[in-house]
Amino acid sequence: MDLRYREATENLAMISANPAVLPAFTSIFSGTTNVQDILPFNSNNALSVGKAGAATSYAGTMDYPLTRSVTQNWTLDPTITPEKLRAMRCACWWVLFGPNNQCGDCSCLYAYSTRSQPGYYFDVAGRLAAIRPGWLRTGRKHDVPKAACYKAHCGDQYVWVLPQDMDCLSQFVLILQSIARVQDDSVLFPKTNTTKVVLDASKLTRPLQHDWLADDAGGNFKTSKVTLYVDQDGFPTPGSGLPSLPRKVRFDNVGLASDLKSAIVAALKGP
């Protein structure tokens, strides 16, 4: 979680110093932490014996050189989809400059309506508005208090979060995470409106009956009905809610594509 907090504050500091830059966000979907403790025991004893066989002196030392090593291994998914990067930058703009100082891309933060232009709508404006304003402090290095839980800077521009505002930082990190992990098709609007059409073979003309539904051998019908979907323009589609032409598929996160991730893991374990 510390990585997520630092990632968010670093982006806020960078955009605070230069609002034109794009954020850099990476999701973490797996990782391992290895903690190794070593406690060796060393003991040295020395006994001096006099001429009469009696002990004259004794010296003993014991050494406990305790060591601990911590190693971490994280599997990351960098966000590279342009629409998601624009939405993350707009979310940072909202926190830094307020909802009344938005750029031309900030409409993607809202929900889609029939009056909106076609595009990507992530519907996180309500969650951003619910976060208490003023939780992120900005200033120079000498303004940062020692009690700050998280701080970051870009040049001489600093941002920081105090302990009483950590709940707001957590909500903001969750918003960035939801933008990064959402499926692209689920936030693309407007949705394709399809109509289910059922063709009855008995109502077709005889040539169409044989061309579409007849058995090759005896000329008997294999089925009596054909079901298909058409979009609002009358073009047939592969299924309900699907466009007539497939959209470009982009896997910006390996963690989202389970089949692709499985193929990569299998290739790494291969000879």
At 240 the pLDDT is 86
Query: Looking at residues 74-98, what average pLDDT do you find?
Result: 93
Tell me the pLDDT band of 249, cut-offs 50, 70 and 90: low
Q: Over 60: is that where the pLDDT of 217 sits?
A: no
- Residue 48 · residue 55 · CB < 8 Å: yes
pTM, to two decimals: 0.72
In angstroms, the CA 115 to CA 119 distance is 12
Q: Over 60: is that where the pLDDT of 214 sits?
A: no
Amino acid in the structure at residue 126: G
Tell me how many helices (H) and strands (E) the chain has: 6, 12
Name which of 82, 148, 93 is nearest 124 in CA terms. Answer: 93
Read off the tokens for 126.
Answer: 């309500």
pLDDT digits (tens, 9 = 90+) for 60-80: 788 878 899 999 888 888 898
Q: How many other β-carbons are positioned within 10 Å of the β-carbon of residue 219?
A: 9
pLDDT digits (tens, 9 = 90+) for 158-193: 999 999 999 999 999 999 999 999 988 889 999 888
More confident residue, 45 or 129: 129
In angstroms, the CA 147 to CA 150 distance is 9
Q: How many other β-carbons are positioned within 10 Å of the β-carbon of residue 66?
A: 8
In angstroms, the CA 201 to CA 29 distance is 51
- Computed over every residue of the chain, the mean pLDDT equals 85
Place of tokens 């918003």: 175
3-state secondary structure of 102: coil
At 92 the pLDDT is 97
pLDDT digits (tens, 9 = 90+) for 15-51: 999 999 999 999 887 788 899 999 888 888 877 776 6
| Domain ranges across the chain | 2-29+76-188, 192-246
- Residue 197 · residue 226 · CB < 8 Å: no
In angstroms, the CA 155 to CA 167 distance is 27
